[in-house]
């Protein structure tokens, strides 16, 4: 008798396979198994069902393996993406660090350049002041402090508050032009409040301006002295030309006076007047000759007596000495010959005698001496020339500077070149000069002693 067929096992199998991807293919197998159960009976159908369940289990295992593999692949992909993100983050960190280091390097370079510029400005010869757009001082170097504020900084103060008198000067107008028009200018001008000439370069910097300046008063004085010297040289050349032209008619007048003196028809008074005129004319002729000698210069050194040179210079200063009432005492050695350029020596002694007349004023005394002697330092034989006076004397400070170019105690009337040129001439003749001076009222005066070796 055939057993009734129970579909519980098949239904359970179907419920398991329903969730798998092979559900449809197994559904038809179940239907065939159910049919076999009906036809073959329960025993045969049960074996087939077991085989079918085993197959379903195998399929489930395979599907589980595939799912696990998919999960592993997904996990690996996630890991790789995480690693990629980590590498990108590391690359970004490295780039950020490189950028930070580059910014730091550029900043260090800028700081170094600023320090270099600051040091250069600090040690430079120019004074530097920087103003902002409100004309407030934002920077000044030590030279500027020493020049305009007695070594004190005025940074943070307005320029007009510190130097109110500058507003009425051309300096302020030029600074305003640089500030407003944003142009650079360079100029030289005289700053009356400080009695100083300044060379200035002003330029816009940021929103403000900077100006570099230096004291050029000494250079301006040197230029003015050189101009005066050139004028004096031109006057000397003109005087020499005039003297040359005067010399010719003087000779004619001298000859005519001689004829009058020797004329038998001339009376005694006429001959006496002619003789006086000839005497004065001889003095004029001597002055003209000495003037010509000052301008003319031999190309070779010649032997000349120092006393003759001194006498020729005295002839030029005779009128001035008489006017001042100056006494001149001379004492010359019998042999005081120098191997020299006579024109240069006349210039030296003219400077010394002219200075002596300036120092003595009215009623003074000048002594001129020549003697054979020896250099106290080297023992070399030679000729010593002394020019001394009882004038006002010189201080120790003045004595240290008298042979410097453009140094003068005569104000606007002096060039500051006379003794400087004289010192150079003496040096070129292998000579030496020594000065002694005193301002003591009991024994004031100055002595110039010049030694020329043989």
The string of pLDDT tens digits covering residues 118-163 is 666 666 678 999 999 999 999 998 888 988 888 888 999 999 999 8
The last residue of a domain, from among 117, 139, 158 = 117
The last residue of a domain, from among 82, 117, 152 = 117
Domain CATH number, residue 198:
3.30.450.20
Q: Are residues 435 and 313 in the same domain?
A: yes
Q: Are residues 274 and 183 in the same domain?
A: no
Over residues 9-18, mean pLDDT = 42
The last residue of a domain, from among 89, 117, 145 = 117
Over residues 325-348, mean pLDDT = 88
Domain CATH number, residue 324:
3.30.565.10
What average pLDDT does the structure give for the chain? 81
Q: Are residues 113 and 167 in the same domain?
A: no
Instruction: Look at residue 271 in the predicted model and tell me its pLDDT.
Output: 80
Whether 223 maps to a domain, the answer reads: yes
Whether 40 maps to a domain, the answer reads: yes
430 or 240, greater pLDDT:
430
318 or 388, greater pLDDT:
388
Q: Are residues 228 and 190 in the same domain?
A: no
- For residue 170, give the nearest of 197, 207, 136, 205 by alpha carbon: 197
185 or 39, greater pLDDT:
185
**Of 25-29, 165-169, 369-373, minimum mean pLDDT range:** 25-29
Q: Are residues 342 and 239 in the same domain?
A: no
| Residue 226: C-alpha distances to residues 114, 221, 348, 370 (Å) | 42, 8, 18, 33
Q: What is the SS3 assignment for the chain? A: CCCCCCCHHHHHHHHHHCCCCCHHHHHHHHHHHHHHHHHHCHHHHHHHHHHHHHHHHHHHHHHHHHHHHHHHHHHHHHHHHHHHHHHHHHHHHHHHHHHHHHHHHHHHHHHHHHHHHHHHHHHCCCEEEEECCCCEEEEECHHHHHHHCCCCCCCCCEHHHHCHHHHHCHHHHHHHHHHHHCCCEEEEEEEHHHCEEEEEEEEEECCEEEEEEEECHHHHHHHHHHHHHHHHHHHHHHHHHHHHHHHHHHHHHHHHHHHHHHCCCCCHHHHHHHHHHHHHHHHHHHHHHHHHHHHCCCCCCEEEEHHHHHHHHHHHHHHHHHHHCCEEEEECCCCCEEEECHHHHHHHHHHHHHHHHHHHCCCCEEEEEEEEEECCCCCCEEEEEEEEECCCCCCHHHHHHCCCCCCCCCHHHCCCCHHHHHHHHHHHCCCEEEEEEECCCCCCEEEEEEEEEC
* Spatial distance between the Cα atoms of 123 and 436, rounded to a whole number of angstroms: 40
Q: Label residue 291 by pLDDT band (50, 70, 90).
A: low
The answer to whether 167 and 174 are in contact (CB under 8 A) is: no
Q: Label residue 13 by pLDDT band (50, 70, 90).
A: very low
Q: Are residues 193 and 111 in the same domain?
A: no
Contacts of 130 (CB under 8 A, 6+ apart): 137, 138, 139, 140, 205, 208, 209, 210
Residue 238 has pLDDT above 80, yes or no: no
Distance of CA 225 to the CA centre of its chain: 24
Q: Are residues 292 and 357 in the same domain?
A: no
Domain count, the chain: 4
Query: Tens digits of per-residue pLDDT, 414-442?
Result: 666 778 888 888 888 889 999 999 988 88
Instruction: Look at residue 20 in the predicted model and tell me its pLDDT.
Output: 47
Q: Are residues 201 and 283 in the same domain?
A: no
Q: Are residues 278 and 192 in the same domain?
A: no
- For residue 135, give the nearest of 90, 166, 100, 95 by alpha carbon: 166
Instruction: Look at residue 117 in the predicted model and tell me its pLDDT.
Output: 63
Per mean pLDDT, which of 32-41, 45-54, 261-270, 335-344 is the most reliable? 335-344
Over residues 288-299, mean pLDDT = 60
Q: Are residues 451 and 325 in the same domain?
A: yes
Instruction: Look at residue 1 in the predicted model and tell me its pLDDT.
Output: 42
Instruction: Look at residue 441 in the predicted model and tell me its pLDDT.
Output: 85
Domain CATH number, residue 252:
1.10.287
Q: Are residues 209 and 283 in the same domain?
A: no
List the domain range (segments joined by +) for residue 237.
Answer: 219-296
Instruction: Look at residue 297 in the predicted model and tell me its pLDDT.
Output: 56
Whether 211 maps to a domain, the answer reads: yes
Instruction: Look at residue 219 in the predicted model and tell me its pLDDT.
Output: 86
Instruction: Look at residue 11 in the predicted model and tell me its pLDDT.
Output: 45
Residue 14 has pLDDT above 70, yes or no: no
Q: Are residues 181 and 267 in the same domain?
A: no
Q: Label residue 192 by pLDDT band (50, 70, 90).
A: confident
For the CA atoms of the chain, what is the radius of gyration?
58
Residue 204 has pLDDT above 50, yes or no: yes
Instruction: Look at residue 138 in the predicted model and tell me its pLDDT.
Output: 92
Six-digit token string for 67: 């799912």
Residue in the block written with tokens 């073959």: 40
Q: Label residue 277 by pLDDT band (50, 70, 90).
A: confident
Instruction: Look at residue 371 in the predicted model and tell me its pLDDT.
Output: 92
Instruction: Look at residue 10 in the predicted model and tell me its pLDDT.
Output: 43
Whether 122 maps to a domain, the answer reads: no
């Amino acid at each position: 008798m055939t057993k009734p067929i129970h579909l519980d096992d098949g239904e359970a199998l179907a419920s398991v396979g329903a969730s798998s991807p092979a559900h449809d293919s197994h559904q038809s197998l179940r239907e065939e198994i159910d049919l076999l159960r009906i036809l073959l009976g329960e025993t045969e159908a049960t074996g087939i069902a077991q085989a079918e369940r085993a197959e379903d289990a195998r399929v489930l295992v395979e599907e589980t393996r595939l799912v696990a593999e998919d999960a592993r692949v997904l996990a690996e992909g996630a890991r790789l993406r995480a690693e990629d993100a980590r590498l990108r983050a590391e690359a970004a960190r490295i780039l950020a660090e490189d950028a930070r280091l580059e910014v730091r390097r550029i900043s260090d370079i800028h700081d170094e350049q600023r320090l270099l510029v600051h040091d250069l400005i600090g040690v430079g010869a120019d004074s530097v002041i920087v103003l902002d757009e409100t004309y407030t001082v934002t920077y000044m170097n030590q030279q500027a402090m020493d020049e305009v504020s007695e070594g004190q900084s005025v940074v943070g103060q307005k320029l007009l508050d510190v130097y109110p008198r500058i507003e009425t000067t051309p300096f302020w107008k030029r600074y305003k032009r640089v500030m407003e028009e944003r142009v650079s200018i360079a100029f030289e001008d005289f700053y009356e409040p400080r009695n100083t000439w300044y060379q200035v370069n002003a330029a816009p910097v940021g929103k403000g301006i900077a100006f570099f300046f230096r004291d050029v008063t000494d250079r301006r004085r040197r230029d003015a002295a050189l101009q005066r010297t050139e004028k004096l040289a031109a006057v000397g050349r003109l005087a020499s030309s005039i003297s040359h032209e005067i010399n010719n008619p003087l000779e004619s007048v001298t000859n005519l006076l001689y004829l009058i003196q020797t004329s038998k028809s001339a009376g005694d008074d006429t001959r006496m007047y002619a003789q006086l005129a000839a005497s004065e004319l001889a003095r004029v002729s001597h002055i003209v000759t000495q003037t010509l000698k000052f301008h003319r210069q031999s190309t070779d050194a010649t032997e000349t007596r120092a006393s003759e040179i001194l006498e020729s210079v005295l002839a030029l200063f005779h009128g001035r000495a008489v006017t001042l009432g100056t006494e001149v005492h001379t004492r010359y050695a019998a042999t005081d010959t120098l191997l020299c350029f006579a024109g240069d020596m006349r210039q030296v002694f003219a400077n010394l005698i002219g200075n002596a007349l300036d120092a003595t004023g009215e009623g003074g005394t000048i002594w001129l001496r020549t003697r054979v002697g020896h250099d106290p330092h080297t023992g070399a034989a030679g000729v010593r020339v002394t020019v001394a006076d009882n004038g006002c004397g010189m201080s120790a400070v003045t004595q240290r500077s008298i042979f410097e170019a453009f140094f003068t105690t005569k104000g606007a009337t002096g060039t500051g070149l006379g003794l400087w040129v004289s010192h150079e001439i003496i040096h070129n003749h292998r000579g030496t000069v020594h000065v002694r001076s005193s301002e003591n009222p009991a024994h004031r005066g100055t002595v110039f002693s010049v030694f020329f070796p043989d």
